[in-house]
A and B are shown apart, each in its own frame.
Chain A
Amino acid sequence: MCQEGDRQHETDIVSVDVHQRILAGNDATARHNREHFRKAAVLAVNIMGSPGAGKTAMLEATARALGATRRIGALAGDLETDRDAERLRGAGIAARSINTGSACHLDARMVHHGLHELTWQGCDYLFIENVGNLVCPAVYDLGQAFNVVTLAVTEGEDKPLKYPVMFQRADLVLLTKVDLLPYLDVNVDVIARALARVMPAPVMIPMSAKTGEGIHRWVRWLERKKAEVDAFSQRYSVAGSTGRSEAGAVAGD
């Protein structure tokens, strides 16, 4: 693997192949978080989007729609202040802030620290509200089961084309603030076409936290994913008690 380089004085220059992901450290912490979520049968969803896209309002509306049937936890990433977490607590969500200081994104370590400050194990859902930003958060795995990107109709039709990495990694796009459509020159079909160019299996739910439009479709999406996680966790815990590997448990079913 190492090849001899040119000799300089009494030292050698050697080339060493590393071939490792630069974010291997973050990936390891993310796997650790994911393991926690899986064992506790918590559906962890990473919510990303621009500042002001309506992430917090969407979560407030989600809590209203789920009502008392589901327990919801949230970690809210913000550069400063506890405002988002305060709003989420007001909506009945067990929420904590993660203040990132100058960091423009959450990473797996920040989420892990946040988990120690929140009683999340009894929750059905854990929403990780990322820092408002359409670039940096997409790069870091947090241990989430799914990525959801909020895109407000006021952001224009071409956002998916301008920020392809963010939308490529989305499992679902929530098109927010659709109650404003009558006042805007924005065509939802154009947004859907832009998404199809960058998202391999595009799924978009138009919604409004204000009128409640689309919220039930989003909640159905969540409940479907939650059922999948529950089924998997059940198999996993059975497999764990008999010492079978995770892969074996999946393949065995």
Chain B
Amino acid sequence: VHEYSIVQALVEQVETAAAARGASAVHRVRVSIGALAGIDPELLRTAYDLFRVRTICERAPLDITEVPARWVCRLCGGPIAATATLTCAACGGPGRLAAGDEILLDQVELEVA
């Protein structure tokens, strides 16, 4: 379960953002997780709830936006419907994942004096 290592990196990033603005507390953390990111959102939430105790995120709920996978053609850029293959129906080119591999810290709500 690598979700703990993800949470550790996440909390460190939030700490950096908070320190940069002299924040005294964090009120909310917003992340985006792609459907093909290899991260289970529920496991991430569990890991976060365990890990955030006694960190700057202690009182900050985690909002997770789940991003669906979207494939486009690597050659012509047209959309690809993920069916039997991930190749372009128009030109036969291979697919490229245009969205769905996100593991992003989007936004933090900080309490500043």
Contacts from A to B (Cβ < 8 Å): 5, 8, 10-26, 103-105, 107, 135-136, 138-140, 164-166, 168, 193, 196-201
- Measured between beta carbons, the chain B residues less than 8 angstroms from A13 are 27, 109-112
Known: A11-B112, A14-B112. A22 touches B6 (CB 8 A): yes
Known: A20-B104, A197-B82. A136 touches B2 (CB 8 A): yes
**How many of B's residues come within 8 Å of A, CB to CB?**
40
Q: 9 shortest A-B CB distances, which residue pairs?
A: A200-B95, A136-B2, A201-B94, A165-B38, A139-B38, A200-B86, A196-B85, A200-B94, A18-B105
- Measured between beta carbons, the chain A residues less than 8 angstroms from B39 are 139
Contacts from B to A (Cβ < 8 Å): 1-2, 5-6, 9-10, 12-13, 17, 21, 24, 27, 31, 36-39, 71, 74, 82-87, 94-97, 103-113
Bound Cα distance from A253 to B44, whole angstroms: 45
Q: Say what secondary structure dominates the interface of chain A.
A: mixed
Known: A12-B112, A22-B6, A22-B10. A168 touches B97 (CB 8 A): yes
Known: A136-B2, A198-B86, A200-B86. A5 touches B38 (CB 8 A): no
Min CB–CB distance B102 → chain A (angstroms): 8
